Structure 1
Amino acid sequence: MNLISEPLASQQPLAEALISDFDAVRHLYTGSALETESWTARAQWLHEHEDQRINRKALVEKLRLYNQQHNPASEVEDALDLLERKETLVISGGQQSGLFTGPLLVIYKAMTIIQAARQASHELSIPVVPIFWIAGEDHDWEEVNHAYFLDSALDVERIRIVKDQLNKNSVGYTSVEKSEWRSALQQLADLLPDSEHKQGLLHQLEDAVAKSATLTDCFAKLMGLWFGKYGLILLDSSDPELRQLESEVFEQIIIKNDELEVAYKKSAAQLQEQGIDPQADVAEDAANLFYIYEGQRLLLFKKEGRFEDRKGIISLSKEELIEESQLHPERFSNNVLTRPLMQDMLLPVLGTVLGDGEIAYWALTGQAFHVMGLQMPLLLPRMSFTIMEPKVQRHMKQYGFSFVEARQHFKELRQTWLTSQEPVPIDTRFAELKGDIEQLYTPLIQELGSMEKGLSRIGDANLHRILQQVDYLRDKSAQAMEHKHEAVLRQWDRVQQSLFPQDSLQERVYNVFTYLNRYGPNWIDSMMELPYLTAIEHRIIEA
């Protein structure tokens, strides 16, 4: 396994600045992961403010129950024992619970959390445990109900669990029927190429599915199967047991809601002054909380002293909402702006692992942390990889282009190669032909128009039809060239579909079972041996 770093710039200026130019964003974030003093200061702050968080023992008790059910590795039990000790800190990170764990980036995020916890523990000489926050409370079913794979025809295929007339309940509370699981498993069996690993992987997945009522359950069991041995603790944000502990936090968010709204707006204004559009919506009068009513997760807004959803389904005074948070915390849920606050009230978060987009929207929360008497944890970029199979490596070497060149100019590179194979320059020749036709035809049309006006219009229409026919012949000629070089162009297509499916990075599209099937069930363990990197740097793995 050969590792190559590529200078692939982040699409998010805040994520790039977090590592390469921290002084430019120091007012938005607490500290830099590249500064030793930031780690020391954050650890000291957490130890001094231990009493401000939810009771440790009560939290660990809830996490034990959840992990015994989905992630029962002895290493996880050891990590939970450590978490009970007041000197232990946490590296966290999370993701939505996608079908079969969703895109590869989920795997890379878990790897980063584990490795960052190891490094922090070594550097600070204190116990630091990794925790993966499963966002089971999210309700956008269409964002999580699918997984993508590359089929033998080099098409990107989607496996999807469809729900008709689905209400906006949390994914963690949305049941998946046995027939729906069977259909998804059969589609996966049909899509995965035959390999020596395929049947074993399908059996593992079938076992996880058989014990899962929801996507979140299956997600947790798979993550436990792969990462439990590394002591990765799982936390499900939709866990009703956890909600009981969160009651007092929801109460504080409601009491301080107006102050929080001002804080989010202030941070958004700071970003706009720097010419940066806020990554998350800071809506007017937003409470930044959801209320679950009859299976619907309703976003709350403030109107004339009351908390209401946009459809007018519920309407509660502040006092009524506070009482609800005390009696029925399971009816409440965070949005992207309050989830960081909840995480910090539950866990002694030394640092949290984020993708580029998440780093950008966390910039909106700095002032809100202060309102809650908190301090933002250190933000750590998720490690980023592209797996480059041998065939792809050979094709790229044969046609002489790099990963970065392909990322930026693939279509142009492909067309340049195809054009170089033409016996005649098709586009040039047809452009010349159209120019000659227009040059000869235009004076004739003008002469005919001087005889009778109607002939000028007929001549223009006739010229248009002739030029259309020239274009038609040009397109047919281009198709003939494509057909003539079909075998080679499939090699180009393999490169594109392998590295940049749907014009995106591989890690944002393809599911991990693609690579487990190709390289074996120990592939994740081999990835865990790669060196940890705190910089925003994309790495190519020549498999």
Structure 2
Amino acid sequence: MKVTQIPFKNTGFFSKTMIDYLEKQKEIQPFYNNFPNISGFYNQIEEKQESFRLQTRLVLVDALKKQYKGFKISEKTEENIALLKQQNTFTITTGHQLNLFTGPLYFLYKIITAINLCEELSDKFPDQNFVPIYWMATEDHDFDEINYFNFDGKKVQWNSEESGAVGRFSTEGLEDVFEVFSSHLGNSRNAEFLKKLFSDAYLKHNNLAAATRYIANTLFTDYGLVIVDGDDKSLKQLFTPIVKDELENGTSFKEVSKTIERLEKNYKIQVNPREINLFYLGNNFRERIVFEDGVYKINNTEITFTKEEILKEVDKNPKAFSPNVIMRPLYQEVILPNICYLGGGGEMAYWLELKDYFNKVEIPFPILLLRNSVQIISEKQAKKLKRLDISLEELFLDQFKLLSKKVVENSDIKIDFDEKIQFLEKQFSELQKVAIKTDISFKNAVNAQERKQIKGLQNLQKRLLKAEKKRQKDLVDRITFLQNEILPNQSLEERQRNFSEYYLEYGSLFVKSLKIAQKPLSLEFIVITL
């Protein structure tokens, strides 16, 4: 195995928001608390330790024991749950939807980043304990986003007529999905493991939350991963003061809206808050709570509450109140002794909208860490890249730019059009000095001629490039095929492929290799050659 790290910026797949965050640009600094480095973690530990109550820890541990009832867990996971009672124990959390059979590859990358960060912090802070947390997004209701995974270029999909929180969905109907999936796997030892993992998860557990817990526990239990389901009465009781504040005062909308006004001057806004950022959760529905005509209404239902009634409902039935994307992060931080949340670029972007809201309700804002991103390359692919003289950084270039670059490098015709365009611009710059001393018509004529000549050179460049690509068709085809193979749909494979493809080939070595390669605080993109 060979591991190479390259800057996130050089892949071209990460937003300006994330690049500026990683580079600690001054424009983005007001929107986060401590930065993900050792000094930042030292400050975060101090801040969280002072504010997190022992009673909350006891409720959390009791809830986790109940959630794990009926599941076989490792000594390491059992030990980590017990450690959560101690005031010197902190969590590192990542969250993910309940995608069928883990969904895209980055599900694994998130969790391994959390596990490795806990180990690294344990070395740096030996007097503290650190527990990796996977927060299951059991209350999401976007079933179409999670009901499939890709395997070997094919979509394996599950159809269900249920609605509401996906964690409560029955696993009925997944027998047919299992038959389809297993038919593609073959009969190798690794294939048999995947079949058993799928069948034990979905055919032996009654709902999607339990099935997902089984899979994550099976893959990562040896590393002490603790899995949290927020759809829990006792945990939501801890959150009821915030829920009541939201219903009465709309605090999240006010604070996040003010933050967005400042943030959008330089960055794209990821999510926008609603006036009430809560859903009402029933057995078969999850609908927005809206305040209209002096009453609280549950969208798309006949359910209504007066102010007094809905506040009583919060106390009586806390499990019915489900935070949306704006409030879920706060719910997590209220019930966990958490010091760091890690996720992908999109997740980090919406967390950056929340700092002022956290400050308003006096909950410490966690460190934000961009999870490790990984590209797997086989030894065979690595050899092809070397023969084609394509570096790992060049691999991530836009395909048109990559082909153009390699065709020019391989061409016998050595004409630097960029150099000629720069020379032309310099000549016209001299003419501009003359033009400003004359009338406006001459200045406009100079500008028009400059645009015409530069455009002419650019068109000649395109025609020459097109001719060379045609002449070097074999090279173009080889590069195109290889890049498409490594980056399906011209996207990072971690967003497209499922872990089962690699597990089928490499078995448990795949997970072990990921764990060895991932360096959470390096803040760089990782390429693994297997």
Please give the range of the TM-score, normalised by the shorter of the 2 chains: 0.7 to 0.9
In 2: Cα distance, 1:223 partner to 1:495 partner: 32
TM-score by length of 1: 0.79
In 2: Cα distance, 1:310 partner to 1:43 partner: 41
Report the equivalent of 2:454.
none
Report the equivalent of 2:87.
86
Distance 1:412 1:43, change over 3 A: closer
Report the equivalent of 2:204.
211
Q: Specify which of 255, 275, 280 is matched with residue 263 of structure 1.
A: 255
Q: Specify which of 364, 389, 414 is matched with residue 375 of structure 1.
A: 364
**Within 5 A, what are the aligned runs for 1:87-486?**
87-125=88-126, 126-150=128-152, 156-164=153-161, 166-167=162-163, 169-177=164-172, 180-192=173-185, 195-240=188-233, 242-255=235-248, 257-273=249-265, 275-283=266-274, 286-293=275-282, 295-311=284-300, 313-411=302-400, 413=402
In 1: Cα distance, 2:476 partner to 2:376 partner: 21
Distance 1:71 1:94, change over 3 A: farther
SS in 1 for 2:272: coil
In 1: Cα distance, 2:224 partner to 2:155 partner: 32
With 358-367 and 385-394 compared, the bigger mean Cα shift is at 385-394
Please tell me the root mean square deviation across aligned C-alpha atoms, in Å. Answer: 2.8
In 1: Cα distance, 2:407 partner to 2:28 partner: 46
Shift of 1:334: 1.1
Confirm or deny: 8 A CA contact 2:113 2:519 kept in the other structure.
Answer: yes
Identity of aligned residues (%): 25
In 2: Cα distance, 1:391 partner to 1:66 partner: 45
Report the equivalent of 2:61.
60
SS in 2 for 1:290: strand
Shift of 1:249: 4.2
With 56-65 and 134-143 compared, the bigger mean Cα shift is at 56-65
Shift of 1:226: 1.2
In 2: Cα distance, 1:408 partner to 1:490 partner: 16
Confirm or deny: 8 A CA contact 1:201 1:521 kept in the other structure.
Answer: no
Distance 1:210 1:76, change over 3 A: same
Report the equivalent of 1:7.
7
Shift of 1:515: 0.7
- Alpha-carbon deviations, 1:359-412, whole Å to 9, x = none? 110111111112211120111110110000123223222323234333223256
TM-score by length of 2: 0.81
Confirm or deny: 8 A CA contact 2:518 2:526 kept in the other structure.
Answer: no
Shift of 1:203: 2.2
Shift of 1:193: 6.0
Name the amino acid aligned to 2:263.
L
Confirm or deny: 8 A CA contact 1:192 1:198 kept in the other structure.
Answer: yes
With 395-404 and 507-516 compared, the bigger mean Cα shift is at 395-404
With 201-210 and 242-251 compared, the bigger mean Cα shift is at 242-251
In 2: Cα distance, 1:305 partner to 1:41 partner: 44
**Within 5 A, what are the aligned runs for 1:44-55?**
44-51=46-53, 55=56
SS in 2 for 1:540: strand
Distance 1:359 1:124, change over 3 A: same
Shift of 1:320: 1.9
